[in-house]
Chains A and B, each alone.
Chain A
Amino acid sequence: MSKTVLRTDHVTMQFGGVIAVNDLNIVVNEHEIIALIGPNGAGKTTAFNDITGVYTPTKGRVYYTKPDGTEVDITGKKPSEIAKMGIARTFQNIRLFKDLSVYENVLIAKHLHLKSDFLSATFRLPGYKIEEAAMRADVERLLKEVNLWDLRNEKASSLPYGKQRYLEIVRALATEPQLLLLDEPAAGMNPKETAELTDFIRQIRDRFNLTIFMIEHHMDLVMEISDRIYVLDFGTTIATGDPAAIQNNERVIKAYLGEDEDA
Chain B
Amino acid sequence: MNTNKRNIMLTLAALVVLFGVACFAQTEIDSYVRRIINLCLIYAIIGLSMNITNGFAGQFSLGQAGFMAIGAYMVGIFTVPVNLRADVFYATPMHPWLVNIYFPLWLALILGGILAAVVAGLIGTPVLRLRGDYLAIATLGFSEIIRIVITNATPITNGALGIKNIPPLNDVRYIFLATAISYIIITLLLNSSYGRAFKAIREDEIAAEAMGINLFYHKNLAFMVSAFFAGIGGGLYGALLGTVDPKNFLFTITYNFLLIIVLGGMGSITGSMFGAIIVTGGLEYLRLFDEPLEVMGVVIPLFRPGLRMVVFSILLMLCVLFWRHGIMGTNELTWDKILNFVKHPLAGFRKKGVQGK
Q: Which residues of A contact B (CB under 8 A)?
A: 52, 54, 78-81, 83-84, 88-89, 91, 95-100, 104, 107-112, 114, 118, 121-124, 128, 131-132, 135, 171-172, 175
Contact = CB atoms under 8 A, between A and B. Distances in A.
B289 interface: no
Given A78-B214, A83-B211, A171-B211, A121 B192 contact: yes
Given A78-B214, A118-B221, A171-B211, A132 B203 contact: no
25 contacts: A52-B210, A54-B206, A80-B214, A81-B214, A83-B211, A83-B212, A95-B204, A97-B203, A100-B200, A100-B203, A107-B193, A107-B196, A111-B193, A111-B196, A111-B213, A112-B212, A114-B193, A118-B189, A118-B225, A121-B192, A121-B194, A122-B194, A128-B192, A132-B193, A135-B193
B221 A98 contact: no
Contact of B209 (A79, A104, A124, A171): A79
Nearest to A121: B192
A85 B246 CA distance: 49
A96 B225 CA distance: 26
Interface in B72-108: none
B185 interface: yes
- Place the interface of chain B in its size category: 20 to 34
Nearest to A156: B203
B199 interface: yes
B4 to A, nearest CB: 12
Contacts of A132: 192-193
Contacts of B225: 118
Nearest to A120: B192
B197 A122 contact: no
Contacts of B215: 80
Contacts of B211: 83, 88, 108-109, 111-112, 171-172, 175
Contact of A124 (B188, B199, B200, B214): B188
Contacts of A98: 203-204
Which of A83, A89, A108, A131 has the most CB atoms of chain B within a 10 A radius of its CB?
A108
Contacts of B207: 91, 95-97
Given A97-B204, A99-B330, A100-B203, A112 B196 contact: no
Nearest to B267: A99
Contacts of A121: 189, 192-194
A108 B196 contact: yes
Contacts of B194: 111, 118, 121-122
Contact of A104 (B199, B212, B213): B199
Given A91-B207, A97-B200, A104-B199, A175 B193 contact: no
Contacts of B212: 80, 83-84, 109, 111-112, 175
